[in-house]
Structure 1
Amino acid sequence: MGSISLQNVSKNFGGVTVIPDISLEIEDGQFVVFVGPSGCGKSTLLRLIAGLEDVSGGVIQIDGQDMTRTAPAQRKLSMVFQSYALYPHMSVRGNIAFPLKMEGADKETIDKAVNNAASILNLTDYLDRKPRQLSGGQRQRVAIGRAIVRQPKAFLFDEPLSNLDAALRVNMRLEISELHKKLKTTMVYVTHDQVEAMTMADKIVVLNAGNIEQYGTPLELYTKPANRFVAGFIGSPRMNFIEGDEAKKMGAHTVGVRPEHLSPSKTEGLWAGTVGVAEHLGSDTFLYVHVDDVGQITVRASGDVAFHSGETVYMTPMDGRLYKFDAQGQAI
């Protein structure tokens, strides 16, 4: 079991409030991702759950038990950090086994746990190597293996892929998702990368200035954003926002439309503009269009769309794909 409940949790550093008041329910076995811009409080919130920071107010429950003032080691959680934090003088086997040795487990128990973790993470052939002989992705797998052997109630990941190159990030993203399916253990994952959040999560927590802007499935956040912040943060390229008279005509302070929900045409459409830059990427074409009295609009079209810089393009939003927001940024 690994349910986590936060009830009116807050955190202050001196006179600065980082997390004003958060309540959140994470169900047993869920993969929940905390996402948001730098400084939004996502890593702090993870550290509060882990017990690495003391809460200023509120209650943290794990499996229904109050763990608010409990030491990190007693919470039965395993944390994987951005830095691998491996012991360079130890082998892979020694690094993975280290938590169990510290707990005083016998050799048979340790060997069985290490071999099981290595099998899950495809590290069996590397058990006798030192960390310096491994790639970045393999080192991160060793760090995850060290967390697995403790058989935690939940895994806490703090931007674990930040130090990897783009190709490795994609591979590790898939591996962690597969790991979750195998272990069926609660995972809480922090990232600033909304693509990671959308592809990995059962549910996403979007944080902004220490507050939860929205908590829901990736599809809910994409199709029904609660406010302009969520609408602009989820989705790549980001949503187009139109204000002023054009938005007022549609009964809103701000109108939003995603680049992939605009149909480009050479003959007619709701808005007409001039293509500034056309990025032809093979599968997709991104058009950056200048529209008078509206501003720049990004269009995501199929790769074979034949628009070029300086051409006129007409754009029409797809049915039901126009979002409206009031002056406070809340969805209408």
Structure 2
Amino acid sequence: MGSITLEHVNKSFGTHAVIPDISLDIKDGEFIVFVGPSGCGKSTLLRLIAGLEDTTSGVIKLDGKDMTDAAPAHRQLSMVFQSYALYPHMTVYGNIAFPLKMANQPKDVIDKKVKDAARVLNLTDYLERKPRNLSGGQRQRVAIGRAIVRQPKAFLFDEPLSNLDAALRVNMRLEITELHQQLKTTMIYVTHDQVEAMTMADKIVVLNAGRVEQFGSPLELYRSPANRFVAGFIGSPKMNFVDGAEAAKYNAHSIGVRPEHFTISRTSMPGSWKGTIGVAEQLGSDTFLHVHVDSFGLMTIRTQGEQEFHHGETVYLVPDATRIYRFDKDAQSLK
């Protein structure tokens, strides 16, 4: 079992509340992603769960048992950090086996667990290598292997892919997702990358200034954002926002339209917004157009790939009336 419950958890440094008040219920076996901008408190929240930081107030329960004041070693959680933190003088086998040796496990048990973990992570052929002879992705898998052999109730990942290049990030993202499907163990993953959050998570916790803005599945957050912050943070490219008289037409303080929810044309259409293309990013499968719209400012439009739009062209945009998001003066979503 690996359920984790937070009840009114608060963390303050002096008079500054980093985590003002958070309550969450994470079920056994779920893959949860904490996402938000830098400084929003996501790593601090993960460290509170791990026991690496003390709570100021509130309760943290693991499988229903109060572990708020328990030492990290007693929580049966394994943490994988941004830094691999491997011992350079040890082989891959030695690095993965290290926590088991520290726990005085029998040699035959250690050998079986290390080889089982290596098989799951495709490291069997690298067990005798030193970390300096591994790629970044392989080193990260070794760090994950060291966590796996402890057979924890939950894995905690603190931005584990941020040191990798773009291609390796994609590969490791898939590997960690597949690992979760194999192990069926609770995982909490911290990232500032909302694409990682959307592609990996069963549920996402969107954090802003230490507060939970919304907690739900990726598609729930995409389709029904609770407020303008979530609407702007979830989705890539980000949502376009319009205030003023245009928003008032929809009985809202502001409206939002995702880049993919526009019709674009070179000829004027009823209800269209006239604009001029600034930059056209032609990616093959998609084309992203950055359009300077009269009165509204810069807007991002996503259209089909291989479109022959160019800098300086005049275009007309029509938002899909059924996909317009409305927000009140407090930036909360209107139904």
Q: Do Structure 1 and Structure 2 share a fold, with TM-score over 0.5? A: yes
| Aligned counterpart, 1:312 | 314
Residue 18, structure 1, aligned to residue 18, structure 2:
yes
Q: Separation in 1 of the partners of 2:210 and 2:25?
A: 16
Instruction: Find the counterpart in structure 2 of residue 122 from structure 1.
Output: 122
CA distance in 1, matches of 2:72, 2:278: 54
SS of the aligned residue for 2:167 comes to: helix
For 2:52, the equivalent position in structure 1 comes to 52
Counterpart of 1:260 in 2: which secondary structure?
coil
Q: Which letter maps to 2:318?
A: T
2:324 is the alignment partner of 1:330:
no
Note the C-alpha offset of 1:268.
Answer: 3.0
Task: Tell me which amino acid in the other structure corresponds to 1:271.
Answer: W
1:175 equivalenced with 2:172 (yes/no): no
2:223 aligns to what?
Answer: 223
- Asked whether the 8 Å contact 2:93–2:128 carries over to 1, the reply is yes
Tell me the residue number matched to 2:274.
Answer: 272
Kept after mapping to 1: 8 A contact 2:114/2:149: yes
Aligned to 1:95: 95
CA drift at 1:56 = 0.3
Q: Give the 5 Å matches for 1:250-265.
A: 250-265=250-265
Deviations 1:160-209 (A, max 9, x none): 00100000000000000000000000000000000000000000000000
Matching residue's letter, 2:59: V
Instruction: Answer yes or no: is 1:241 the counterpart of 2:241.
Output: yes
Equivalent residue runs for 1:278-317 within 5 Å = 278-317=280-319
What is residue 192 of structure 1 aligned with on the other side?
Answer: 192
User: 2-side partners of 1:290 and 1:126: how far apart?
Assistant: 53
The superposition leaves residues 296-318 of structure 1 with CA deviations (integer Å, 9 ceiling, x where unpaired) of: 11110011222212211111122
Total equivalences in the alignment: 332
Shift of 1:319: 4.2
Which amino acid in the other structure matches residue 332 of structure 2?
A: Q
- Name which of structure 1's ranges 295-304 and 208-217 shifts more when overlaid on structure 2: 295-304
The unaligned stretches of length 5 or more in structure 1 are none
8 Å contact kept, 1:33–1:203: yes
Letter in 2 for 1:135: S
Q: Which residue of 1 aligns with 2:207?
A: 207
Question: For 1:291 and 1:195, how far apart are their aligned partners in 2?
Answer: 27
Deviations along 1:131-164, whole A, 9 cap, x unmatched? Answer: 1110000000000000000000000000000100
- In structure 1, how many angstroms separate the alpha carbons of the residues matched to 2:65 and 2:202? 24
Percent identity over the alignment is 73
2:72 corresponds in structure 1 to 72
- Between the aligned partners of 2:292 and 2:298, the Cα distance in structure 1 is 5
Tell me the secondary structure at the aligned position of residue 252 of structure 1. Answer: coil
Residue 175 of structure 2 aligns to a residue whose secondary structure is helix
Structure 1 runs of 4+ with >3 Å offset:
none
Alpha-carbon deviation of 1:247?
1.1
Alpha carbons 1:246, 1:294 under 8 Å: kept: no
Separation in 1, partners of 2:152, 2:70: 16
CA distance in 2, matches of 1:163, 1:294: 38
1:136 maps to amino acid: G
Structure 2 residues not aligned, in runs of 5+ = none
- Structure 1 residue 288: deviation in Å? 1.0
Task: Give secondary structure in 2 for the equivalent of 1:129.
Answer: coil
Matched AA of 1:12: S
**Which residue does the alignment assign to 2:8?**
8
Instruction: State how far apart, in whole Å, the 2-side matches of 1:62 and 1:320 are.
Output: 43
Cα RMSD after superposing both structures: 0.8
Give, as a single letter, the amino acid of the residue that structure 1 aligns with 2:55. V
TM superposition score normalised by structure 1:
0.99
